[in-house]
Each structure stands twice: as C-alpha cells, then as structure tokens.
A = this chain, B = another copy of it.
Amino acid sequence: MAGQRPVATLATVAEAAGVSRQTVSNALNSPELLRPDTLARVQEAIETLGYRPNRAARNLRTRASHLVGLRVEPALEGTASGLMDRFLHSLVETCRTADLHVLLFTAEDVNDPLDGYDGLLQSAAVDAFVVTDTYRGNPAASWLDQHQVPFVAFGRPWGEPTATHPWVDVDGHAGVAAAVDHLVDRGHRRIAWVGWQDTSFIGEDRRGGWLARMTERGLPTEGWELRGEDTVDYGRRAAHDLLDRAEAPTALLCVSDTVAMGALHALAERGIHPGPGGVGVVGFDDSLAAQLVTPGLTSLRQPLEQIGVEVVRLLKDRLELRTSDEPHVILSPELVVRGTT
C-alpha cells in the first residue's frame, strides 16, 4: 500500500528526479526523446513515489476513458438465473488485467433497449460497451454497430445473420443434447421437454438439442413437450400436466432452473421423489437455487468466467483496432450432476 505517503504529482516526481516537469511528461509520453540515464532517473522516481498520471488528463490526451459501459437490468425476483454476479466479477477481474474498468449504468426507461447508451457516448464517458441483453435479439447491438461504437455482445445476434460484430455465446443446443445422453445413460427413455415459448431464440436453441439427440437415439418426441414462460408456476403446472398422463415421462428436461424448480414443487405435491427411483429433473444455469435445493438439481452450468475472458479479449481487439482471430465464440456449458438424476 502506497497510501501512507502523500499523493505523488508530476511536480514531486520532477523534484525527486532533479528534472523539469516537461521532462517527466516526456518520460511518460515520448521516452525516446530523453537520454537513457535521465529516463532511468525519472522512472525510478515514478516507481519510488508511486506516481500515477491523473486519469482525466490522460483521458483528454488519449481520448480514452479506459471505461467499459455495461447496462444493468432490474434484478428479477422469483427466477433462478442470478448469473449476473458471476459474470460481473469475471468481467471486472479480466478488465483489470487489460487496464479497463467497468462502468455500470441503468436505463431511465427500462423498456427502451437503447436508453442510456447515447448519453455515455456523447459525453465520452466510456470507450466501449458490453451488451448482455440477448433475450430481445440485441437491438442495442445493432444500434452500436450502426454508430461504429466498439462493443462486444454476450449472446448471438439471433435472427440477424448479416450482423458481423464480435460476440461470445453459450451452446445451449450442445448442452441440452449432453443432458439427454446423461438421462439415457441413467436408463430414461420417456424424456419430456419443458420449454419456453417459440419466440425465444435461446429457448429454441436449447429445445433443438433435445429434439435432435432424442431423434438420434431413436426416442419419441412427438407430444412430449410443453411450452410456457420462465416462471416457477409454469414449471409446476407443466410437470403436473405431463405426470397426469397415462404414459407419463420418467424425466423432465427443463429449459431453465426456474422452470425446473417448479417441476420439483409439483413432484413434492405428488409425493414423488426426484431422482433415481422417482422422476429425473434437469435444469439450465446452475443457479444457486440448483446448488442449494434438496436433493440438488442437476443443471447445465454456463462458463461465465471463460465468457468474461473472451469478451475482454475481443474488446481489446476493438479498442486497439485489431482484427480479431475468432470474433465469434461459442462455449459449451458443463453438466453438473446432482441428486435429481
């Protein structure tokens, strides 16, 4: 900690090194102009005093705030996702290693997907954005792209095949297919899909993994699926509906942990044990709820730490005007097996 001494300035560094302030400034901005021994003396004084150039002064010089904007949405109550904590920490941590900080903002009008971006850009408060609003098809991404603002999206530009901006996403299709394999290995054949509405691109991606792998395995899918919203209540009703049937499923593969938690409620109401010997349940997100519920919900874990690393790699490429080697990254979720299977 350098905090016990007074804050170093250009002037105190100059005095300590026995040079002019202009020389210190040159040492920082045009070191090649200085004699090697002078440069070494100034650098030693900078090191000893713990001098950091004032950020606002540097910003004006470089036209860079070294800040990355991220719009935070209202935390949803009653849903299991809660991924933001993990993603935020990974992003902030990786940004630190790239000399960037994360600036959070909210929208005045949460229903306007573009609200908030414009003001930060016009006041040059941030150099770039990370866009995470993937559920609505990323209107902010299109807008930022049109305005040539550096940004990286967490989430694919679903339904916009011509979009070329960099993005990182999770392979829901592959994850759910792996969950089907897991359930089949456990002896299940009647595996129902408890999904979202077909207007959800992410929901359709995940459902595709169920449909494709079930078909590959020669297992029935026709009539073995339901669709609804991302609520505990929908998951509960869907599970009751499926388990009321004459030929009931032995496993419920759910599009999210929230829906899976509803399915667990239904099992409890029917006195059916989740897991081996009862009905298998799988969720998606590996939320805290999945980790904490009795007997532990098998779930697909999003690799949020790795997503943060890839997002920052692509951000740096954009900020340093480099062409990215892999501008579009799809990472596989990991199946975390717990008591419900």
Q: Chain B's nearest CB lies how many Å from the CB of A246?
A: 26
User: Do A93 and B122 touch (CB < 8 A)?
Assistant: no
Residue of B whose beta carbon sits closest to that of A9:
B122
**Which residues of A55-92 are within 8 A (CB) of B?**
55-60, 63, 65, 67, 72-75, 77-80, 82, 84-86, 88-89, 92
Interface residues of A (CB under 8 A from B): 1-3, 7-8, 50-60, 63, 65, 67, 72-75, 77-80, 82, 84-86, 88-89, 92-93, 96, 101-106, 108, 112, 114-115, 117-119, 121-125, 143, 147, 232, 258, 261, 264-265, 268, 287-289, 291-295
Copies of the chain in the assembly: 2
Given contacts A3-B117, A72-B89, A78-B292, 16 further A-B contacts (CB under 8 A): A1-B112, A1-B115, A2-B118, A3-B121, A7-B122, A50-B122, A54-B123, A54-B124, A55-B124, A57-B60, A60-B60, A93-B106, A96-B108, A103-B104, A264-B294, A288-B289
A1 CB contacts on chain B under 8 angstroms: 112, 114-115, 118
Tell whether A75 pairs with B56 under 8 Å between CB atoms, given A3-B114, A101-B105: no
